[in-house]
Amino acid sequence: MLIGISLISFFIMHLAPGDITSSEAAFNPKASEESRQKLRELYNLDKPVITQYGLWLKRMVELDFGNSFASHQRPVLWETKDSKGNVIKGLIQESLPITLLINLIGIFLIFSVSIVLGTISAVKQNSIVDKSITFFIFVAFAIPGFWLALLLMYWTGVVNQWLPISGLHSLDYKSFSEIGQFFDLLKHLILPVSISMLSGLAGISLYVRNGMLDVLHQDFITTARSKGLNEKNVIFTHALKNAILPLITIVGLSIPGLIGGSVIAESIFAIPGMGKLFYDSVLMRDFPVIMGILTIGSVLTLIGTLIADIGYAWADPRIRKGLVK
Amino acid sequence: MNLFKGNLLAIIGFIIISIILFVAIFAAFLSPYDPNYIDINSILLPPSYDHLMGTDGLGRDVLSRMLYGARISLFVGFVAVGIATLIGIFLGSIAGFYGGWIDSIIMRLVDIMLSIPSFFLILAVIAFLTPSIWNIMIVIGLTSWMGVTRLVRAEFLSLRQRDFVLASIVMGSSNKKVITKHLLPNSLTPIIVSSVLGIASAVLIESGLSFLGLGVQAPTASWGNILTDGKEYIQFAWWLSLFPGLAILVTVLGYNLLGEGLRDVLDPKNK
């Protein structure tokens, strides 16, 4: 699986025309063919593709994703010490935690809100509340996140100046106390997090609603009702548990979408996360960074799926005790 | 229209899509100005009788650009989903019909493609090819066939066990005939539904790419790149941001409603 991912991310980069030397040459018209050849040798670009893949794979196993072509040759993944003993931080090392932070808050909020929305919607099926929630879900599905981001930026940032519209920290944040810094960060996160959670929110609310409707029509719910349990008890202890169990799998599946979506949110709000790093590297044709992020992004997805599978097995006693597969 | 009887949401979706189709086809007749005509005397005019949606930073009429942008959105949506659906049907049929090692290889490929964040993949490929409308359609198509493949495979697996298919095999029909005459026609419903929903997401992806400057390139108008201008002038010209976004929203909503409606209508269980 991992090898497949590495193959795809490697070969896509090499099927594409144009290499680093052509963009280097474009910036610097004096670059001769000779110096371009030197550059190619430096990055092993003159070797056959298979050899390049082999070399890259070998370094990847050692978690060495190489150095960025641009950005002063900073290491792609993790910090290294240069000859003078200065620590140079890796690009992904710096940006990944930011993206993870945004997405984890996002996932947490998505689940809290959508379980509530979905449950209300299912319990009050066909009522006005249900219809307006369903309508909201459809709109949230269709709304382009970057557009909403623009409008929110305009409304909260430009017209009313309630919220900061770019970056992670205020210019003078170093002068704040620790609590002040925390709230400053929180304020900067509100817009990006709400944008990145929107489509996930819609999808999962719909999922909870449909799951809940399914469960509510099953026999054991009728049994629970007919033995005189009050409605609250039926819904919260009997129905909800069963309806939200499959959600654990959905977390795993929603990770690639969330990470991919961070490109747009982070570029708009100028947040130095992995999405923005990726966008910048794409514009600069920075092979090592692009390949590194593609690989790390996929590995994150695999880890997410794995955690989801384990979580599912842990939450469902039938699987935990090996009664069903 | 009888098809959608009683399904209000589907009817709304159908109407929305018809209007957008109409607008896209007759953009040349409907637009009051040439969408690429630069008029420095009328830069960033707010909506008025002359320019119903105002003008952009180069004095171009936004309404005209919106109408031509509808073409791009529809075109990209249809072609990208067409590519994805063809690939999906092809791979899904093979995997579902033959099973065995060929099935495991195809399904592995699907798993791998699904675990790479697709927007990253699209961005990377687009940036290395020169961004153009053709490349966008091809790349979106090539990165979104996994759903259809799974769908077709699942349908085939269950259909293969059915008596009429077994009968056809026993009577000596060729594999090709079994697939095209019996299996495919009976799996059409989910394929159609997922295609319609797929167009919606292709429209969203295209507008996102164009917004990032990696999609449809200026001067060709697309809803996404009008929004890029909108971002540029957000402090002075709200109309540049509002209208294209609304158009994308309504279009995607239309396809989603239509797709969900079709699912309800075409599913015999709901009859």
CA distance B268 to chain A (A): 19
Given a cut of 90, whether residue B85 has pLDDT beyond it is yes
In chain A, residues 248-287 whose CB comes closer than 8 Å to chain B: 256-257, 259-261, 263-264, 267-268, 278-279, 282-283, 285
Q: Can you give the residue range of the structural domain that contains B217? A: 2-39+48-270
Read off the CATH number of the domain in which B227 is found: 1.10.3720.10
pLDDT tens column, A262-287 = 888 888 888 788 888 888 888 877 77
**Number of domains present in the structure of chain B:** 1
* Integer Cα distance of A28 and B199 in angstroms: 42
* Integer Cα distance of A297 and A301 in angstroms: 6
Burial pattern B240-269, b for ≥16 Cβ within 10 A else e, equals: bbbbbbebbbebbbbbbbbbbbbbbbeeee
Q: Note the pTM of the prediction, 2 decimals.
A: 0.81
| Residue A25 · residue A71 · CB < 8 Å | no
What average pLDDT does this structure show over A244-266?
78
The predicted pLDDT at position A90 comes to 66
CA distance A86 to chain B (A): 32
Q: What are phi and psi of A75, to 5 degrees?
A: -65, 145
What average pLDDT does this structure show over A233-250?
77
Name chain B contacts of A279, Cβ cutoff 8 Å.
123, 212
| Residue A9 · residue A291 · CB < 8 Å | yes
Q: How confident is the model at residue B271 (pLDDT cuts 50, 70, 90)?
A: very low
* Least trusted range by pLDDT, from A166-175, A242-251, A272-281, B135-144: A166-175
CA distance A158 to chain B (A): 7
Residue with the bigger pLDDT between A163 and B117: it is: B117
Mean pLDDT for all residues in chain A: 73
In this complex, the residue of B113, B124, B256 whose CB is nearest that of residue A141 is B256
* Integer Cα distance of B206 and B123 in angstroms: 11
Q: How confident is the model at residue B91 (pLDDT cuts 50, 70, 90)?
A: very high
Question: What is the value of ipTM here, to two decimals?
Answer: 0.78
Those residues whose C-beta lies under 8 Å from the C-beta of residue B69, and which sit 6 or more positions away, are B221, B222, B223, B226, B244, B247
In this complex, the residue of B115, B117, B249 whose CB is nearest that of residue A143 is B249
Name chain A contacts of B127, Cβ cutoff 8 Å.
282-283, 285
Given a cut of 60, whether residue B269 has pLDDT beyond it is no
Judge: A282–B123 Cβ closer than 8 Å, yes or no: yes
Residue with the bigger pLDDT between A239 and A47: it is: A239
